Amino acid sequence: MKTEKELWEEATRATLEETKSIHKWNKEDMVNHPPHYKKGDMEAIKVIEAGIGDQGFIGYLLGNIMKYLLRFPHKGKPIEDLKKARWYLDRLILVVSKDKINN
């Protein structure tokens, strides 16, 4: 029987592969790696995570999930905004799972 960690890693790999296949046609991945959020080798999300710690980062992720869910019907790119909400939700699941595994 697989452990919770193994199941999570398997599900995460599947989600990442699905996301990659959805976006492979697009040179600029505006959902997973928007070019305007990267400076050199560091993406803004990593700087934010390192700067505010897990609990602050969880709040940040929740806020972004809510933002994209609330505005998706109004901004003109509903699918892109829903995918962004899903991206932040997937990130939240990783953070919470990491915390659960470490405790």
The pLDDT tens digits for 54-97 are 899 999 999 999 999 999 999 899 999 999 999 999 999 999 99
| Runs of H (alpha helix) within 44-77 | 44-71
What is the rounded CA–CA span in Å between residue 65 and residue 86?
7
Is pTM beyond 0.85 here?
no
Whether the Cβ atoms of residue 68 and residue 84 lie closer than 8 Å to each other: yes
Query: Rg of the chain over CA atoms, in angstroms?
Result: 15
pLDDT at 41 (0 to 100): 72
Q: How many CB atoms lie within 10 A of CB 75?
A: 10
pLDDT at 31: 74
